[in-house]
Amino acid sequence: MKRKDDIGRRRTRARRRALQALYQWQLAGQDLRDIEAQFQEEMDMSAVDMELFRELLHSVPARADTLDAAFGPLLDRPAEQLDPIERAILRMGTYELEARIDVPYRVVINEAVELAKLFGAEQSHRYINGVLDKVARAVPLRAAEMKAARLPDGGRPTR
């Protein structure tokens, strides 16, 4: 059985590779299957959660308009004016907040912030953090999780 921290590292790597692949898709408009094949051929994918990589690579573009509509009203400018890296990170983060309820919202936001620190502009991680925090609050399936996180005892019943 794989250790929990190893699974986390594999997912982090999957998000990193998915961001790179989505960036390529946004700029070149290349077919997603071709991008996936290129990444498997040219990149070291041995330590990547391939299931998550594929899910993000194929699901985020399929839902790009819906994802943009979810975070668009929270931006200080039109989504089209965002840096392509920021837009890809926001799409991935919004997708995970909406579709991957098994991943805690704090993990989703933290992973997005770390990607922004690694690949984004100097202060983009702050922008990403603020927008995704607002997205998380707007996702109905996250309401109970966020409410529990705000309670002093972490949401556990008191005696």
Q: Report the chain's C-alpha Rg in angstroms.
A: 16
**Residue 7 confidence (pLDDT) above 70:** yes
Helices marked H in 29-123 = 32-42, 50-62, 64-71, 84-99, 105-119
Mean pLDDT (the chain, rounded): 90
Q: Give whole-number Cα distances, 26 to 18, 41, 79, 144, 151, in Å.
A: 12, 20, 13, 34, 40
pLDDT bucket at 52, cuts 50 / 70 / 90: very high
More confident residue, 115 or 145: 115
Domains of the chain, earliest start first: 4-138 (1.10.940.10)
The answer to whether 23 touches 59, Cβ cutoff 8 Å, is: no
The predicted model gives 7-25 an average pLDDT of 95
pLDDT bucket at 42, cuts 50 / 70 / 90: very high
pLDDT bucket at 47, cuts 50 / 70 / 90: very high
